[in-house]
Amino acid sequence: MMNFEPAIWQEYDCPISQIDYDLDGQQVCIVGERFYCPLCGSYHTAGEDGPNETVLWLAEDGSMIFRELPKDAEEKAAWLAEVAHARLMIKDQPGLPPLRREPQHGVSGVGD
């Protein structure tokens, strides 16, 4: 059985370091939002030299939903709520690992 945890993230290739990086959970950017890149030490803009799509993983079958960047804070909040709802739906299922907590500030980590 695959370890499943509903998630939301954006991937981008830093144009300076040429390394793939992920923004996840609260760090997901809305279109036009600038964010700090710890790989190169500069700022990028979502939709320009940053991420261009958002990935939601809500189903245990491994299927992912690919969307444009959220257009505003309200849309981002709605997508985060979708992930939170999916997490609640699996919370009490036996055999699933405990859900990890999303970091509240900063960028969460390096991608593949």
Q: Is 104 inside a domain boundary?
A: no
Q: Would you say 11 and 54 are in contact if contact means Cβ atoms under 8 Å apart?
A: no
Number of structural domains found in the chain: 1
* Residue 1 lies inside a defined structural domain of this protein: no
pTM for the predicted model, two decimal places: 0.75
Q: Which domain holds residue 54?
A: 7-92
2 found inside a domain = no
Each residue's pLDDT tens digit, 2-23: 567 899 999 999 999 999 999 9
- How many Å separate Cα 3 from the centre of its chain? 17
Instruction: Convert the pLDDT of each residue in 60-101 to its tens digit.
Output: 777 899 999 999 999 999 999 999 998 888 765 655 554 444
Residue 36 falls within a domain, yes or no?
yes
Beta pairing class for 7-13 and 20-24: antiparallel
